[in-house]
């Protein structure tokens, strides 16, 4: 069996799109699509006119033709919407999402995986976040319909996912427990997804993908392998130098002179202990550099997870202007302890005219209209409400949140979708701005792009990363 050495990072929203994942797969390694916000992304791609026809091609392969036809009828605009026209808004996820929203989510994740798998026989994974829990059941099912090979998940403790995969493989319903602020100890809240309700007569048994949990400590690695039933199939050990969300420091949230969280030896994972768990593991966070793969293998890893350098290659979903600006300037990366509404540190690229700059951030009207990072809370009347620390401050406080929790919070949902050229457009003319995330490997980008070139392909990146492990290399 082929030993895959590179697991592509699943960067959301839509940075690790089907084109990038396919390019990695065509180059002989494991491509990974992001499953974050795929419902909005599919709807907006269709409203932009689906110029290359790829969305409609994938929808034509969707097992339930009626669902695909409804989605096209609802969202597709021949020739695309006017540039300054707002997109059609889709509903935000709740504990009880509508059938239409679940259908859109299933179909969107199906399309992304279906297109990523075309043209090669190498495995494709999908990356999801435990923190974006409400769409995850529908997202996983859609990916499985397309034959996804790996589910990769972090930003939390996803212990229930292996059981979900078992259920979906046989067409059974699956549920996830939800954390609800203010709930009593004996109260349990769940979101449930029914494959039969969505697929009806098209319901079939599905291939069960492998599940890899992203962890950042030995304790969590051990928990996912020894205490999760069924156990995980593998791990991604992610260092705090990785892009996107980082686990908070284990010693408590102390900041350095620059205002960044201080990570210490307590946050370093002991790889010998991970190796003793007996499952394959990948090393992520500053391991996607020339020469690092050989060291990872020597430490017992199957290979390395590579995100940041792929984020700025030709095939990634970032708009071209972002890639060009990054490659030209190689800006600083700041680990922002406040930007994310989740409360997790979030790496932000300091880039002109983006929400990384205070002036640009302050111009943005606070609004919550995508809602992927909303948290649940119990209202005084016993019903469940939804709030986000990046929404308007008064609204958040009226829902029982603390005003200080809103300080410095940024709407990642809208910013990340804007990064891939699908920004929310408002009737008053405001257009959502970028907020770019990358790992500390960003400073190494120019080591990959040489000979006067302005860009690099996924295949070229893979060739560089595999160089030291090629046969005959010492």
* Count of helices and strands (H, E) across the chain: 18, 15
Q: What is the DSSP letter of 78?
A: T
Tell me if 373 sits within 8 A of 393, measured CB to CB. Answer: no
Rounded (10°) CA dihedral 465, 123, 243, 431: 120
Pairing of strands 150-154, 124-129: parallel
Tell me if 323 sits within 8 A of 455, measured CB to CB. Answer: yes
Could you tell me how far CA 120 lies from the centroid of its own chain?
23
Per-residue b or e along 140-179, where b marks 16 or more CB atoms closer than 10 Å to that residue's CB: bbbbbbbebbbbbbbbbebbbbbbbbebbeeeeebebebe
Give the closest residue to 419 by CA, choosing from 406, 407, 431. 431
Band of residue 289 on the pLDDT scale cut at 50, 70, 90: confident
Band of residue 3 on the pLDDT scale cut at 50, 70, 90: confident
pLDDT tens digits, one per residue of 39-55: 999 999 999 999 999 99
Least confident of 99-103, 153-157, 173-177: 153-157
Return the CATH class of domain 6-319+444-469.
Answer: alpha beta
The rounded distance, in Å, linking the Cα atoms of 132 and 143 is 16
Pairing of strands 180-181, 375-378: parallel
Mean of the per-residue pLDDT values for the chain? 94
Interacting residues of 446 by C-beta distance below 8 A, sequence separation 6+: 327, 330
Interacting residues of 106 by C-beta distance below 8 A, sequence separation 6+: 67, 138, 139, 141, 142, 145, 198
The rounded distance, in Å, linking the Cα atoms of 208 and 129 is 19
% of the chain beyond a pLDDT of 70:
99
Phi, psi of 416 (to 5 degrees): -70, -35
Assess whether pLDDT exceeds 50 at residue 206. yes
Least confident of 30-34, 248-252, 306-310: 248-252
Tell me if 71 sits within 8 A of 59, measured CB to CB. Answer: yes
Assign 3-state DSSP to the chain and report helix, strand, coil percentages, each to 5: 35, 15, 50
In this predicted structure, what is the pLDDT of residue 474?
A: 47
In this predicted structure, what is the pLDDT of residue 470?
A: 61
Assess whether pLDDT exceeds 70 at residue 204. yes
Q: What is the pTM of this model?
A: 0.95
The rounded distance, in Å, linking the Cα atoms of 38 and 165 is 20
* Token pair for 420: 């891939």
Which sequence spans correspond to the domains of the chain?
A: 6-319+444-469
Q: How many CB atoms lie within 10 A of CB 224?
A: 25
Least confident of 23-37, 83-97, 240-254, 418-432: 240-254
Residue indicated by tokens 């409804």: 70
Tell me if 409 sits within 8 A of 340, measured CB to CB. Answer: yes
Number of residues that make up the chain: 474
Assess whether pLDDT exceeds 80 at residue 332. yes
Least confident of 100-109, 166-175, 450-459: 450-459
């Amino acid at each position: 069996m082929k030993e895959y050495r590179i697991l592509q990072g699943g960067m959301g929203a839509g940075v690790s799109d089907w084109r990038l994942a396919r390019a990695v797969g065509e180059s002989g390694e494991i491509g990974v699509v992001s499953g974050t916000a795929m419902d909005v992304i599919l709807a907006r791609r269709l409203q932009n006119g689906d110029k290359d026809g790829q969305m409609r091609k994938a929808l034509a392969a969707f097992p339930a033709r009626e669902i695909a036809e409804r989605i096209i009828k609802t969202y597709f605009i021949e020739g695309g919407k006017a540039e300054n026209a707002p997109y059609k808004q889709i509903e935000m996820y709740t504990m009880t999402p509508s059938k239409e929203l679940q259908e859109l989510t299933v179909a969107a994740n199906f399309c992304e995986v279906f297109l990523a798998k075309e043209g090669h026989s190498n495995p494709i994974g999908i990356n999801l976040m435990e923190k974006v829990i409400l769409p995850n059941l529908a997202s996983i099912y859609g990916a499985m319909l397309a034959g996804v090979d790996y589910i990769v998940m972090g930003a939390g403790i996803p212990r229930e996912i292996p059981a979900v995969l078992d259920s979906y493989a046989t067409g059974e319903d699956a549920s996830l427990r939800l954390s609800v602020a203010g709930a009593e100890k004996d109260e349990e809240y769940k979101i449930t997804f029914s494959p039969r309700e969505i697929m009806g007569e098209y319901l079939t048994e599905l291939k069960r993908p492998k599940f890899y949990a992203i962890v950042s400590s030995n304790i969590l690695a051990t928990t996912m392998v020894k205490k999760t039933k069924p156990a995980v199939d593998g791990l991604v050990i992610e260092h705090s130098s990785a892009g996107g969300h980082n686990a908070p420091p284990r010693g408590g949230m102390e900041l350095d002179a620059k205002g960044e969280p201080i990570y210490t030896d307590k946050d370093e994972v002991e790889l010998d202990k991970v190796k003793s768990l007996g499952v394959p593991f990948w090393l992520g966070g500053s391991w996607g550099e020339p020469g690092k793969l050989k060291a990872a293998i020597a430490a017992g890893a199957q290979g390395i997870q590579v995100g940041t350098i792929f984020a700025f290659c030709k095939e990634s979903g970032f708009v071209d202007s972002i890639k060009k600006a990054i490659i030209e300037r190689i800006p600083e990366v700041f680990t922002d302890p406040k930007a994310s509404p989740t409360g997790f540190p979030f790496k932000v690229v300091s880039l002109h005219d983006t929400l990384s700059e205070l002036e640009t951030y302050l111009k943005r009207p606070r609004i919550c209209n995508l809602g992927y990072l909303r948290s649940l809370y119990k209202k005084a009347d016993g019903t469940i409400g939804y709030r986000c620390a990046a929404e308007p401050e008064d609204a958040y406080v009226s829902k029982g949140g603390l005003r200080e929790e809103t300080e410095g919070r940024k709407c990642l949902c809208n910013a990340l979708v804007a990064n891939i050229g699908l920004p929310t457009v408002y009737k008053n003319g405001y257009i959502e701005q970028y907020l770019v995330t990358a790992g500390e490997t960003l400073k190494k980008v120019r080591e990959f792009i040489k000979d006067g070139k302005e860009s690099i392909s996924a295949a070229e990146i893979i060739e560089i990363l595999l160089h030291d492990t090629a046969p005959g290399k010492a």
